[in-house]
Amino acid sequence: MAAAVPVVRAALAADLDAVTAIYGEHVRHGSASFEIEPPDLAEITRRHAAIVAAGLPYLVAQVGDEVAGYAYAGPYRPRPAYRFTVEDSVYLAPDMQGRGIGRALLASLIDVCRKDGRRQMIAIIGDSANQASIGLHAALGFRHVGTLCDVGFKHGRWLDSVIMQLELAGQA
């Protein structure tokens, strides 16, 4: 049986329970996020509203009736000079990894940000051992620009942050 093709679309309020569950798994068991306690639905709803209010994309990938993952572009930094630079975040349900869903989400996110006139997209990847995320970003044109060593402590070990960058301007 062929793998189902994800439908990538704007996230709706009805999707946020699934987003909360997906992110909670990553916070509790993974090292991609440096949060220690998973945020509740109210906090995820607040974060979603802030991204949308800023005019930035917040997407989900739907496979059948299930939200398989989500991605959004947030402000890279709050100061006005950074307004054309965004930071991407991509998270998948654990049972949906390795199916091309992350690639579909990130490719769509890049496309929306290019069309919106953004200049740079930054990926701050938690844990230099996160080869799936590093490989995904590299496959879509991001280049490695640095590693911050041992900047986070989670699950009893020190973690790096890998910084990757994609130029968006002039490539629409």
Taking the chain, what is the end-to-end CA distance rounded to the nearest angstrom? Answer: 35
Looking at the structure of the chain, the number of domains it has is: 1
**Does 172 map to a domain?**
no
Give residue 166's identity as a one-letter amino acid code.
Answer: L
Count Cβ atoms below 10 Å from residue 103 Cβ, excluding itself.
Answer: 16
Compute CA 83 distance to the chain's CA centroid, rounded to the nearest angstrom.
18
CATH label of the domain that carries residue 132: 3.40.630.30
pLDDT at residue 5 in the model = 81
Please state, in angstroms and rounded to a whole number, the distance separating the CA atoms of residues 31 and 115: 31
Say which DSSP state 169 is in: T
Q: Per-residue pLDDT for the chain (172 aa), expressed as one digit of tens each? A: 445 789 999 999 999 999 999 999 999 999 999 999 999 999 999 999 999 999 999 999 999 999 999 999 999 999 999 999 999 999 999 999 989 999 999 999 999 999 999 999 999 999 999 999 999 999 999 999 999 999 999 999 999 999 999 999 864 4
**Does 152 map to a domain?**
yes
Q: Can you give the residue range of the structural domain that contains 30? A: 7-167
Judge contact between 74 and 82, C-beta under 8 A.
Answer: no
Sheet with 7-10, side-by-side order of all strands: 7-10, 58-63, 66-75, 85-92, 120-126, 157-167, 143-154
**Does 2 map to a domain?**
no
